[in-house]
Amino acid sequence: MTILLKRARIIDPSQGLDMTGDILIANGKISGIGEDLFSKSDDGTEILDCAGLIAAPGLVDLHVHLRDPGQTHKEDVFSGCRAAAAGGVTSLLAMPNTTPPMDSPERVEALLSKAKDADAAVYTAACITEGLRGEKLTDLAALRKAGAIALSDDGQPVKNTACLLEALKRGTELGMTVTAHCEDKFLAEGGLLNEGEVSRLLGLKGIPNAAEDCGTAREIAAAASVNAPIHICHVSTKGSVELIRDAKRRGVRVTAETCPHYLLLTEEALRKRDADYRMNPPLRTEEDRQALLEGLKDGTIDAISTDHAPHTPEEKEDFLTAPNGSIGMETSLAASLTALEGVLSVSEVVEKMSCAPARILGIPAGTLAIGANADVVLFDPRRKWTVEENALHGKSKNTPFKGMTLQGRVLTTIFHGRKVYDIR
């Protein structure tokens, strides 16, 4: 199938491109970029008029919980990738804290085999430790051979620091990205939301910033001690931003991500006692939010991910007992554009959501270069829309952006040359 995208504003930070022109897609690949490619099309070419729209490399989400295997009533590979497509996400990294955990080659192979027919490219992280217990390393080489490209005990830090150091060393040798959930469990124990004004108002135990900051400091120190790269997940505090900034200045090989909900919301949302606003790490203060914006602006924070964490309405019904987490792939671009207006340019947002995540993971994505996979998102940066949770495409509806008006709407997503989402 051949597709010609006409008169788009083409933004591709991987090539330094910001131009008005055409993109020709053939046989699942980018076959041409130029000012007028109509002459290179044929009678069978589908022509899309993209005037007023931005064409960018498909988004790459570094942090997704597909709940597959074991909790597919919340999400599965196919529903998760439908939600991804609706948000312009064409590649994603699945976290390994599934049921059972992604700690064996057989489970890695099964997930990747199932995902071959999905509407996005699914990559997976494998567990650092057996059963996510933090004590004994998995067979990292076997997991890499099975197809895992990253390592994580996401949901909790690696309990045994000796295991973490060994994973950092061997992961580097195997070409696997180590991603870290930074949290001091002793400080966070029993907390339901950020420790601060709102937690005191509600009379609930909070999670102090120090829980994340202490975890971030440990991971940075571990990586520095063996000169290995490490990626810090879902940064939410001013302290973590400062720790990462200092580490980068010292030459530590650290990268970091934050999420749209930390950029657009604060602990004030928890006054409603609505569990859709409960996640871990929790929504923090306005001071923390501003620090995250500055961290994105100065390059301390490299990427924006979603930490897409589906839960059923029944699970989220009780504010005090509900599990942490919110969904985010379908709203990630719009929420980021809304939060970052006047902070980052559209090109810089695309860099944080597509090109940089692809580089961190070392995957063939995040570019519109000739010969690359034709993964393209078409969006209107000016179109405003209101998030209706029941109109979203995944199985679960626990979005923290419900009822909000966001700016920037994904209209079409092309994955490997195939339209997987289109509301034009």
Query: Which residues are marked as active site?
Result: 307
Q: What is the spatial distance between Cα 395 and Cα 399, in angstroms, rounded to a whole number? A: 12
User: 224: phi > 0 → left, psi -120 to 50 → alpha, else beta; which?
Assistant: alpha
Torsion of the alpha carbons at 292, 298, 299 and 300, rounded to the nearest 10? -50
Per-residue b or e along 248-275, where b marks 16 or more CB atoms closer than 10 Å to that residue's CB: beeebbbbbbbbbbbbbbbbebbeeeeb
Report DSSP state, residue 331: G
DSSP string, 193-205: EESSHHHHHHT--
3-class SS of residue 131: helix
- Taking CA 231 as the corner, what is the angle to CA 176 and CA 332, rounded to the nearest 5 degrees? 105
Beta-bridge partner residues of 115: none
Contacts of 422 (CB under 8 A, 6+ apart): 411, 412, 413
Contacts of 186 (CB under 8 A, 6+ apart): none
3-class SS of residue 326: strand
CB under 8 Å, gap of 24 or more: what pairs does 271-277 form?
271/198, 271/201, 271/202, 273/202, 273/319, 274/319, 275/316, 275/317, 275/318, 275/319, 275/322, 275/398, 276/316, 276/326, 276/398, 276/399, 276/400, 276/402, 277/326, 277/400
Beta strands in 110-155 (DSSP E): 121-126, 150-151
Q: What is the spatial distance between Cα 132 and Cα 137, in angstroms, rounded to a whole number? A: 9
CB-neighbour burial class of residue 392 (10 A; exposed 0-12, middle 13-18, buried 19+): buried
